[in-house]
Structure 1
Amino acid sequence: MPTFYSAIFLLALAGNLLVILTFFHFRRIKTMTDVYLLNLSFADLLFALSLPFWAANSTAAWALGAAACKAVHAAYKLSFYSGMFLLTLIGVERYVVIARAVSARRYRSRAVFLGKASSAAVWAAALIFSLPEMSYAAVVNDTCTPYSSSADKLRVKIQAGQIALAFAVPLLVMSACYSGIVRTLCRARGFQRNKAIKVILAVAAVFLLGQVPYNLVLVVNTAVAANGGTTDCDFENALLYAADVTQCAAFLRCCLNPFVYAFVGVKFRRDLRRLLKDSGCRSHDGLIGFTTGGGGGRGSSGATDTETTTSLSP
């Protein structure tokens, strides 16, 4: 697990910093989705910075005290809640833009402002929902944990709230929004012009594929804790292993999102090429293949993109 956490930390640190630098270097914040994806990168980066502490906590006695324990849990919960809420907002915003295009036009001039305001609300809500676990996090038996035991009643309340607020409700909202988007795109002409939705769907898929197994195990853990724990050692060990494996899979999302941007979004690849070229990291000729996806030519670079399209359009 320490090796796994360390690898995720390095990949997430490099990937999310590149996404953030690309956004700011080219001032590509043009739409609400851009604002949300930038905030999602900040959330992933925040979580990545806590991973070295998770690695240490999994192998040795916690020696950093209660304050650091609370800070690590704060970083994880803020990232978790804000990430899911931001993905929910991305789904809602894309649904309005694509399925309710006429209504969306009246808000176009205020899109970035509305994106920033709603993102601030997301961070505030994530902080509020994180407070219980942050408040009770402590060092128990040389381990940083918010629970005193596997049958802790506080654990039941916190985990049940997390499953409902940060998984079930966002999942329902995103499912409804993306279903409406798919129906609209299937009926509309010029389907190719809406290919930017691939990026959003890919980001949502990465998050959900990591979170669904983790939350299913969390449901079982919550049910066991609500019934006072278990005396079956084999079952408890199996549950612990399942929690470790699915949690590691859930942690992967903070380093996978930048790769989704890079390999699905052509505009992002082009901006990244320009950023590397401007910084002197690579030559222009050596980056053409990366920009065009290995096509060997300039024609596929999308030279007709406008400034009004999302910076993560394919």
Structure 2
Amino acid sequence: MTSVRDLHKLLPAVLIWLMHFKFCRSHGEETTTVFYPDYDPASFSYEGIPQLCKKESNRNFRLWFIPPLYSIICFLGLVGNLLVILTSFYFKRLKTMTDVFLLNLSFADLLFSLSLPFWAANGMDEWVLGLVVCKAMHTIFKVSFYSSMFLLSLISVDRYFVIAKAVSAHRHRSQAMFLSKVSSAVIWVMAVIFSIPEMTYTTINNKTCTPYSGNSDKLRVSLQASQIVLAFVLPLLVMSVCYSSIVQTLCKARNFERNKAIKVILTVVSVFLVSQLPYNLVLIWITVVTATGGTKDCDYENRLLYATDVTQSVAFLRCCLNPFVYAFIGVKFRHDLLKLLKDFGCMSQERFFRYTCGKRRSSGATDTETSTTFSP
């Protein structure tokens, strides 16, 4: 039962409620008129109220597109780059600047290939591997990305001096190896420095591992713009200047290897443009859209996501294409690779001589230690 003390406490609240009820009954019509002025639910407009953009179609697209493609890239990248690394160490072929740069390029692409399963996991389902692995995945991508682009630029510069400036390059040949090792170390340090934003701002947002999520648009625009300039525009400019000068020098020469060398250079530039240009064009457009305040069109935003997924996957192909374009295309490296397979029991002695002896007799001077002179 309620005690007298409890009734004493409830009495003021009951009096206030009775006064409020009496006031509402005496002013009911006025209150109804003020707070419910001819309200029609059917006439309510949702215009101006932000609605959630559905991205289920993009998620479904990633489920069937990313895993098989990334698996192929990962396998080819691991096999190709491991063969380059094994051949370089097994035959001790680090005798030129390009050899050193190719070895570092293979390490960078191998590092990125090892991170591709995590990229596939991020595209398939929610991220469950924690923030540390999330940051590591994006950081490894940026380190390998920057180092690869810088190394490709240095390879073109070295080929320029060897071919277009052959006299001065031969004069400083004794210093070339030391310079190549120092420049490679500097490139790795620069790649790590430029990847610091990935280490800092990558986070898990909506159960997805995402870079720059939750940060200001100004920061996102500045970081994306710096990536475009440093990792695409600058390498493209260096490669264009160097390889165009090399082609001019080769056109003046009367060497029977000239046409083959020009085709190699065109292949190198074409692979770079096909793999990197589409992704960077999409990235430039996304940066412009972000800088101008973003978009409220859900269909347009989904189309940008589709374009990003496709062009980024094509850009990822670089890690498995570089060994074929820069290493396997050289006569000396192909011979070393076949000899490596023979020594490891993957190829018979008879087949090895069939693949090497006939080509060596027909190629003549191309099988010397300088057979990669006209290679990229």
Shared fold, TM over 0.5: yes
Alpha carbons of structure 1 residues 175 and 193: separation in structure 2 relative to 1, 3 Å? closer
Distance in 1, matches of 2:325 and 2:347, equals 22
Structure of higher CA gyration radius: 2
Partner of 1:159: 224
Distance in 2, matches of 1:179 and 1:236, equals 39
Does the alignment pair 1:120 with 2:185?
yes
Alpha carbons of structure 1 residues 149 and 301: separation in structure 2 relative to 1, 3 Å? farther
Does the alignment pair 1:249 with 2:311?
no
Task: Name structure 1 gaps, 5 residues minimum.
Answer: none
Work out which of the residue numbers 241, 255, 258 in structure 2 matches 1:176: 241
Alpha carbons of structure 1 residues 198 and 87: separation in structure 2 relative to 1, 3 Å? farther
Q: Which amino acid aligns with 1:305?
A: D
Partner of 1:19: 84
Partner of 2:362: 300
> 1:145-166 CA distances to partner (integer Å, 9 max, x unpaired)?
1122697332211110000111
Does the alignment pair 1:81 with 2:146?
yes
Work out which of the residue numbers 197, 203, 210 in structure 2 matches 1:138: 203
Distance in 2, matches of 1:211 and 1:151, equals 27
Partner of 1:268: 333
Partner of 2:68: 3
Q: Which amino acid aligns with 2:136?
A: A
Q: Which amino acid aligns with 2:241?
A: A
Task: Name structure 2 gaps, 5 residues minimum.
Answer: 1-65
- Residue-pair matches, total: 311
Distance in 1, matches of 2:366 and 2:290, equals 57
DSSP 3-state at the match of 2:204: strand
Q: Which amino acid aligns with 2:196?
A: L
Alignment of 1:201-240 (within 5 A): 202-240=267-305
Distance in 2, matches of 1:224 and 1:287, equals 56
Does the alignment pair 1:60 with 2:125?
yes
- C-alpha deviation, 1:120, in angstroms: 0.7
DSSP 3-state at the match of 2:195: helix
Alpha carbons of structure 1 residues 29 and 263: separation in structure 2 relative to 1, 3 Å? closer
Task: Provide the identity percentage.
Answer: 67
Q: Which amino acid aligns with 2:368?
A: T
Alpha carbons of structure 1 residues 178 and 127: separation in structure 2 relative to 1, 3 Å? same
- C-alpha deviation, 1:144, in angstroms: 0.8
Higher relative contact order (CA 8 A, sep 6+): 1
TM-score, normalised relative to structure 2: 0.77
Does the alignment pair 1:148 with 2:213?
yes
